[in-house]
């Protein structure tokens, strides 16, 4: 009985747990690093997805990536921010999930990632899956079995 429930959880499609794209803060390729820093600071998120106008996923951008790009030898060169583009500093090697992936795959990946971007069969960004959501589901499961 217990193992059946466990299998059911592991096989659950991640689509049930996604924070949908319209609720996800993002920046666009071509945006300046200055704009991106504003978005990151105001939302309080450590990193956000980088999308194009067709909502295709290009990478992830964090405050650290921006700060590192303006680190001079003795000072932070804030005046450079307006001339640096998101594309120049983002991480393109993003680990992502497909909408058809299961809870089991997400569980493996959230060990190393606070959140994962999710794309559909055409590569369009549909939302994110966070470690917090996965842990909540896991907690629910653990407390439900005796």
Binding site for ligand AMP (CB under 6 A): 19, 23-25, 45-48, 114-115, 128, 130, 132
Residue with tokens 């000072």: 75
Smallest distance from ligand AMP to CB 96, Å: 13
CB of 58 to ligand AMP, least distance (A): 15
- CB 83, min distance to ligand AMP, A: 25
Phi, psi of 55 (to 5 degrees): 65, 25
- CA separation, residue 42 to residues 46, 129, 138 (Å): 11, 21, 30
Q: How far apart are alpha carbons 105 and 101 in whole angstroms?
A: 7
Residue 1, token pair as written in the block: 């009985």
Residue placing its CB nearer to ligand AMP in the complex, 8 or 25: 25
| Cβ distance to ligand AMP smaller for residue 5 or 95 | 95
Residue number, 33 or 47, with CB nearest to ligand AMP: 47
Closest CB to ligand AMP among residues 47, 57: 47
Contact 77, 67 (CB under 8 A): no
Q: At what angle do helices 131-144 and 103-110 cross, to 10 degrees?
A: 120
CB of 61 to ligand AMP, least distance (A): 10
């Amino acid at each position: 009985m217990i193992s059946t429930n466990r299998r059911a959880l592991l096989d659950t499609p991640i689509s049930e747990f996604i924070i949908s794209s319209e609720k996800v803060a993002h920046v666009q390729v071509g945006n300046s690093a200055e704009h991106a820093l504003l978005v990151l600071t105001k939302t309080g998120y450590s990193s956000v997805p980088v999308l194009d106008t067709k909502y295709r996923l290009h990478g992830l951008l964090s405050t650290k990536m921006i700060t590192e790009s303006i680190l001079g030898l003795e000072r932070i060169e804030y005046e450079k921010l307006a001339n640096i583009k998101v594309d120049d500093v983002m991480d393109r090697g993003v680990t992502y999930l497909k909408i058809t992936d299961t809870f089991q795959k997400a569980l493996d990946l959230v060990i190393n990632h606070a959140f994962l971007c999710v794309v559909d069969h055409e590569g369009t960004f549909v939302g994110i899956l966070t470690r917090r959501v996965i842990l909540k589901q896991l907690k629910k499961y653990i407390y439900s079995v005796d």
